[in-house]
Amino acid sequence: MKHADKVIIKGLIHSWESKAPYVKSGESQRGVLEVNEAGDKIKCHECGDWVAFIGGKHLQKCALMSAKEYKRKHGLRIKTALMAPPLIAKWKNSHSAAPNPDRMVKARQKLKDNPSLYFRVLSYETRNERSQCHEQLTLRIQSLFRTLGKTPTTRDLKSVGIEPATACFVFNVRGVDALMSLIGLLPNNDKRGKPAYTNAFLIESLRDFFAKWKRLPLSSEYGTLLPSRHAYYGHYKSMLEAYTEAGLVGHYSPSGKCGIGLARDGCL
């Protein structure tokens, strides 16, 4: 079935694509309210019907649960209004009372005493807003992996706005290595503590270097301009094998005196 074009997250309307992908929940998506094309109805997670208001009679009819139970089941904030946008605007105009200061102080103190409560209660709606739900994080990390050609490090994750501690909390794992394994990537560190590069990335690095400098790399350039020698030895028996796969085997002589810098640096 075709999905809606728009979703409501924390009271704001977003296009479907801007916050995708989502996690399925009942007949809709977890942590969001789908809005119809006209913008006057939202989709019920329980029965899939489009209604202006999910609550009271409708919930008792299709789900036999309260609005609070509905929100917790489908990852919505407790204070999220289960109403279509026009109904929310009408409700706000008729309920403009100032917030209760004592109640706000108590709520802040409760979160201060138990910080993890914030993420538990607001889980999926807050995660969707920040592109930090399971599906969104998986997509972002796998995209970063394809861009880098290696398993992302903690620094790599932070460079694209992914907080490692938050990601580990979302997936309920301890450490970035466990997170990468869960997503289906190699652990970030091998036994020597070096980055786990892919074969394709290592070979492409050699080809890019040769295309730019018109020569083979010097020993001092491994680990700086290129991945370290240990990274190559973790995937190939020798540098000769790596150069052969990269199509650069013709740039050294069989006698051992290779092209620029190769034999001199002892890479055969």
What pLDDT, in 10s, does the model give residues 34-84? 998 888 899 999 998 898 888 878 888 887 888 888 888 888 888 888 888
Mean pLDDT of 23-31: 87
Which residues span the domain enclosing 77? 6-94
Question: Is pLDDT of 131 > 80?
Answer: no
Mean pLDDT of 85-106: 68
Residue 125 within any structural domain of the chain: no
Answer yes or no: do 141 and 66 share one domain: no
Answer yes or no: do 16 and 80 share one domain: yes
Residue 157 within any structural domain of the chain: yes
- C-alpha distances (whole Å) from 211 to each of 121, 197, 214, 262 are 53, 21, 6, 16
Answer yes or no: do 177 and 206 share one domain: no
Residue 139 within any structural domain of the chain: yes
Q: What is the pTM of this model?
A: 0.48
Residue 121 within any structural domain of the chain: no
Q: What is the pLDDT of residue 181?
A: 84
Instruction: Classify the phi-psi angles of 128: left when phi > 0, otherwise alpha if psi is within -120 to 50, otherwise beta.
Output: alpha
Band of the pLDDT at 95, cuts 50, 70, 90? low
Answer yes or no: do 28 and 70 share one domain: yes
- Total structural domains within the chain: 3
Question: Is pLDDT of 3 > 80?
Answer: no
Answer yes or no: do 30 and 79 share one domain: yes
Residue 223 within any structural domain of the chain: yes
Residue 260 within any structural domain of the chain: no
Answer yes or no: do 170 and 204 share one domain: no
pLDDT tens digits for range 170-207: 788 878 888 888 888 877 654 444 456 788 888 998 99
Question: Is pLDDT of 245 > 70?
Answer: yes
d(CA 92, CA 81): 11
Residue 167 within any structural domain of the chain: yes
Answer yes or no: do 179 and 222 share one domain: no
Residue 234 within any structural domain of the chain: yes
pLDDT tens digits for range 150-167: 888 888 888 888 888 888
Answer yes or no: do 149 and 221 share one domain: no
